[in-house]
Amino acid sequence: EGRVRVSSAKNAVLPIIAGTLLASTPSKLLEIPNLEDVGTICQVIESLGVKITRNKADDEIIFDASTLTATEAPYELVRKMRASFLVMGPLLARKGEAKISMPGGCAIGARPIDLHLKAFEALGAKIEITEDYVYAHAPEGLKGTQIYLDFPSVGATENVIMAASMAEGKTVIENAAEEPEIVDLATFLNAMGANIRGAGTNVIRIEGVPQLHGAIHTVIPDRIEAGTYLIAAAMAGGDVFVENALPEHLKPVVAKLKEAGVTVEEEIDGIRVISTGKGIKAVDIKTLPYPGFPTDMQAQFMAFTTIAEGTSTVTETVFENRFMHCKELNKMGADTQVISNHICKVNGVEKLHAAKTTCPDLRGGAALILAALVGEGQSEINNIYHVERGYENIEGVLNNLGADMTKI
């Protein structure tokens, strides 16, 4: 019961912080969430020479990238967070070279960077790959060109937009990712003096400019965090209003909650869920690049279907190994059956029971917390550091809504 306000979107903050590398004068970002991953990307750009000043409230950060002193991202930081690879585009644009350790895959899949590298080569960069480093350099600078992404990769689209923002001439990206986080990055870069058109569609046009200046920016709200709390209310029952949840960023999730029989009210300034937690109907979901159902909501929505009446089919088309939460949910009495890397059947059960479980990854961990909210008894969830990478104070937020969670 009650109201919750979500933080700024992790997946917008990370590329935007990487984008501050492009400016020759300071930028200021407001309402930055206090997350592990934000700390990591800040360490990466500090190691490149960016001066970072946090205000006392700590949610306003100034990034001064007027002088960059290095073009190599430290191995141990890239290993910790693959999104560090997003500094390659800005470094190529600003310094004409970058050396970054090959980002490992992670729990949810191999997550190669071939589309990033192919696009950088098209822009005129030379790429060398040693055993575990990628070295890119463009001695004559980057030249605008036509780029077609074989898959609408979010990271590749972001890296290419940043590289092309200071390339010579025009770049057109076709089959670009359309996520709201891409739009927010383009908004920030345009405020810095870039010339980017079409972000949010699958064709993005960039006119390179010789220099970018700092800008002030407030990042969009986190649609995945918002969606997670909407599902918490739908499963546990109650009346929850998620402030600053933008309905247009959550259309597929809202549509599926309504299809399952949940009352969802979309307001101008947020989304409200009213639910008894009973009589949930089974629904099928299929994850797709935006504007399709978000892969980052797949695990949370699966937790919701475990207590639905009937069988739901969950199809994951974006990542090849994003069902590791299934066996953990089954420990709590759920009946999920992984048919293949991409299909899982969920036979709804009357109720879940408490169990000792382990978070397999960020969104899988969030799914276990949602299941534990409705599982009878006290559950124990291990490795919650995964969850803390993407959710600021999740136990405080949920306890304010009536949950009973204690971080050990």
Instruction: Give the residue numbers annotated as catalytic, written as ranges.
Output: 106
CB of 295 to ligand EPZ, least distance (A): 5
Site track 68-107 with ligand EPZ (rule: CB under 6 A), x = hit: ---------------x------------------------
Residue nearest ligand EPZ by beta-carbon distance: 155
Stretch that binds ligand EPZ, among 93-101, 154-162, 189-197, 270-278 (CB under 6 A): 154-162
Q: Which of residues 169-228 bind ligand EPZ (CB under 6 A)?
A: 177
Give the nearer residue to ligand EPZ in terms of CB position, either 83 or 235.
Answer: 83
CB of 181 to ligand EPZ, least distance (A): 6
Give the nearer residue to ligand EPZ in terms of CB position, either 224 or 262.
Answer: 224
Q: Does 111 help bind ligand EPZ (rule: CB under 6 A)? A: yes
Site track 225-254 with ligand EPZ (rule: CB under 6 A), x = hit: ------------------------------
CB of 397 to ligand EPZ, least distance (A): 17
Q: Which of residues 122-141 bind ligand EPZ (CB under 6 A)?
A: none
Q: Can you tell me which of 153, 275, 300, 379 binds ligand EPZ, judged by CB under 6 A?
A: 153
Q: Does 390 help bind ligand EPZ (rule: CB under 6 A)? A: yes
Q: Does 325 help bind ligand EPZ (rule: CB under 6 A)? A: no
What does residue 308 show for φ and ψ, rounded to 5 degrees?
-85, 165
Site track 294-313 with ligand EPZ (rule: CB under 6 A), x = hit: -xx-----------------
Stretch that binds ligand EPZ, among 148-156, 243-251, 252-260, 346-354 (CB under 6 A): 148-156
Q: Does 362 help bind ligand EPZ (rule: CB under 6 A)? A: yes
Q: Give the interface with ligand EPZ as residue ranges (CB under 6 A).
A: 11, 14, 83, 109-116, 151, 153-156, 177, 295-296, 318-319, 362-363, 390
